[in-house]
Amino acid sequence: AQSVTQPDIHITVSEGASLELRCNYSYGATPYLFWYVQSPGQGLQLLLKYFSGDTLVQGIKGFEAEFKRSQSSFNLRKPSVHWSDAAEYFCAVGPPSTYKYIFGTGTRLKVLA
């Protein structure tokens, strides 16, 4: 069955520290992969996506993610976190034939001043 796992429910980092949010998926072939960010009470904003080509993708707000086929992972990284990055982050898997994404349960990021 297709699934997305975000192992970390909460992560706390200090401002200026590096960040890595984990995402693992289960899918029969290479899916389309996405990271979204949600601020409290808001909709989701697309950070970045992977569907082909270079496995290291750059997104908005200084985020990047690396697709590792062998590990079925698509981890999100940022070298230096800002206080405004505090939010909920969702990893999503999209089968190439449809727009019906499968979302992970989310990781809530807290940033300490």
Partner 1 sequence: GAVVSQHPSRVICKSGTSVKIECRSLDFQATTMFWYRQFPKQSLMLMATSNEGSKATYEQGVEKDKFLINHASLTLSTLTVTSAHPEDSSFYICSAADGTEAGNTIYFGEGSWLTVV
Choice between 85 and 104, CB closer to partner 1: 104
CA dist 85 and 108 (Å) reads 10
Which of 64, 61, 62, 38 is CA-nearest to residue 50? 64
CB of residue 9 to partner 1, shortest distance in Å: 9
CB of residue 51 to partner 1, shortest distance in Å: 4
Confirm or reject binding of residue 75 to partner 1 (CB under 8 A). no
Residue of the chain from 44, 73, 75, 86 that contacts partner 1 (CB under 8 A): 44
CA dist 113 and 104 (Å) reads 28
Contact by Cβ (8 Å): 91, 77: no
Q: Which residues bind partner 1 (CB under 8 A)?
A: 32, 34, 36, 41-46, 49-52, 90, 94, 96, 98-101, 103-106, 108
